[in-house]
Structure formats: structure tokens, C-alpha cells
Amino acid sequence: MFVYPSFNTIQIQFSWGLLKPDDLANFTAGGFMTADQYKQLTGTDYKAPEAAK
């Protein structure tokens, strides 16, 4: 079983440059962090991916 990191860990790794905004978008899309947390870290609004047609 894979355990996703906590928001605090994500925040630290993002500040160190280990995670990119695309990584954070994946965590947000997967429900492991909120859109508000995404905006807090990136400074931009989270845009949910469009459903495949």
C-alpha cells in the first residue's frame, strides 16, 4: 500500500524544488490535498482536468 505524504511534507518538498506544480495538481486531483492548499503553495487557482471525451 502506498501512503501519500502529508500536506506539511508536500509543502517542504515543494519549497525545496522537489515537487512541481504538476505534481501538486496530481495530489489535488487525487484528493490528497485541497484546491485551497494548491493555491496556498502555487499562488494560482487549481484547474481540475477536463473529462476525457
5 burial type by CB count under 10 A (0-12 exposed, 13-18 middle, 19+ buried): middle
pLDDT at 52: 60
pLDDT at 49: 81
Is 2 inside any structural domain?
A: no
Is 30 inside any structural domain?
A: yes
Q: Which domain holds residue 30?
A: 7-41
pLDDT at 53: 63
pLDDT at 23: 94
How many structural domains does the chain have?
Answer: 1
Query: DSSP label at 17?
Result: T
Is 15 inside any structural domain?
A: yes
pLDDT in tens for each of the 53 residues of the chain?
Answer: 677 789 999 999 999 999 999 999 999 998 999 999 999 999 999 998 876 66
Distance CA 6, CA 2 (A): 13
Is 22 inside any structural domain?
A: yes
Dihedrals phi, psi of 45, to nearest 5 degrees:
-70, 145
pLDDT at 3: 76
